[in-house]
């Protein structure tokens, strides 16, 4: 989600300069590396925060009937209850998602990126990102959250939510490859 927000930010900047007929030098490779490093560092820290078994973790693991399960909320004595944990995690997903959608609506509203002429390729590229984001990332995240919030690990609901989320992950890869392979 954060990577999509970074891409949206850079595209928004580039589109605004183009719309105002200002020439801008291409982004330096070192700047791209720094942005990628920040995004991956954020992802690593977030993942570690979720899986490290410490009292201040927003997710904890427990064993029932010989099966290891995970649940939202800190372990006993931790700072997060389930509701607080969901609020924190939701905000970590909602802020970048809202920004990406805001940028797309702003570009559409102000007609900054026409779908014809010299900006057609850029317009299609940005639209592909939005389609992948809205059709695959958001539903998969919602399904994963719904699946992990259910208490039963062997229920039919949990199974189908998990399988549908996995299917969306696989389809996202194919959709991305399809979009990359088409020039228009």
Helix or strand run (H / E) with residue 68: strand 67-72
Q: Alpha carbon of 172 to those of 16, 74, 92, 94: distances in Å?
A: 29, 32, 21, 20
Terminal-residue alpha carbon distance, the chain: 25
The first and second tokens of residue 69, run together, are: 């399960």
How many other β-carbons are positioned within 10 Å of the β-carbon of residue 107? 21
Query: What are the φ/ψ torsions at residue 59 (nearest 5 degrees)?
Result: -140, 140
Rounded Cα gap, residues 58 and 25, in angstroms: 43
Integer Cα distance of 112 and 107 in angstroms = 5
CA 92/CA 69 separation, integer angstroms:
23
Q: What is the pLDDT along the chain (184 residues), one digit of tens a residue?
A: 788 888 888 888 888 888 888 888 888 889 888 988 998 998 898 888 877 777 777 777 777 777 666 676 776 777 777 777 777 777 888 888 889 889 888 888 888 877 777 777 777 777 887 888 788 888 888 888 777 777 666 778 888 888 898 899 888 888 877 877 776 5
Rg for the chain, CA atoms, rounded: 20
Structure tokens at 128: 């592909």
- Contact between 71 and 85 (Cβ < 8 Å): no
Q: What is the pTM of this model?
A: 0.69
């Amino acid at each position: 989600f954060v990577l999509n927000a970074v891409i949206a930010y850079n595209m928004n900047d580039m589109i605004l300069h183009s719309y105002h007929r200002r020439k801008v030098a291409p982004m330096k490779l070192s700047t791209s590396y720094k942005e990628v490093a920040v995004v991956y560092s954020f992802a690593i820290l977030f993942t570690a925060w979720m899986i490290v078994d410490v009292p201040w973790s927003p997710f904890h693991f427990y064993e029932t009937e010989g099966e290891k399960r995970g649940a939202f909320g800190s372990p006993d004595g931790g700072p997060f209850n389930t509701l607080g944990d969901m609020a924190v995690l939701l905000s970590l997903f909602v802020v970048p998602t809202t920004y990406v959608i805001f940028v797309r609506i702003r570009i559409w509203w102000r007609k900054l990126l026409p779908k014809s002429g010299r900006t057609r390729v850029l317009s299609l590229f940005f639209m592909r990102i939005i389609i992948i984001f809205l059709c695959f990332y958001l539903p998969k995240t919602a399904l994963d959250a719904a699946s992990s919030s259910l208490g039963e690990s062997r229920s039919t609901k949990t199974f189908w939510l998990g399988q549908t989320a996995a299917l969306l992950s696989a389809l996202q890869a194919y959709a991305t490859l399809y979009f990359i392979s088409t020039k228009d």
